[in-house]
Amino acid sequence: MTLDETLANSIKQDYRTADLAPDERAMLDYVAVLTVSPAKVSREDIETLRSHGFTDTAILQINLIASWFNYINRVADGLGVGRDVLSPASDETSTCMAPHGTVHSDVTA
């Protein structure tokens, strides 16, 4: 838990309007591009991080952590883990994955 809940909530709402230091904002700008459009990460993005004092090791760590969370979230989303889906036939919510890893028949693309 952070000591500054106001800042944490502000970041959750929209990090671009949160009261962040320039290096923190640069890091989150990079992570946002990496998350939404990874193919659009450019040399300029890396140079921006360097200009804010991030070493190549730190940039690699930022990239690895963000990429790992993106990967895990996509796996979970793809399997419906941690969320309920609405059953079209009954309007009841059910988990997307059965206890033994088979997808319910009411899950459609």
Domain architecture of the chain: domains with CATH:
5-82 (1.20.1290.10)
Model-wide pTM > 0.75: no
Let me know the angle formed at the C-alpha of 85 by 82 and 86, rounded to the nearest 5 degrees.
Answer: 155
**What average pLDDT does range 38-55 have in this prediction?**
97
Q: How does pLDDT run across 72-100, given as a tens digit for each residue?
A: 999 999 998 877 665 555 455 444 444 44
Q: How does pLDDT run across 52-78, given as a tens digit for each residue?
A: 999 999 999 999 999 999 999 999 999
State how far the Cα of 65 lies from the Cα of 25, in Å rounded to an integer.
16
State how far the Cα of 43 lies from the Cα of 105, in Å rounded to an integer.
45
- What's the one-letter identity of residue 87? S
Q: Identify any residues that bridge with 103 across adjacent strands, giving them in sequence order.
A: 97
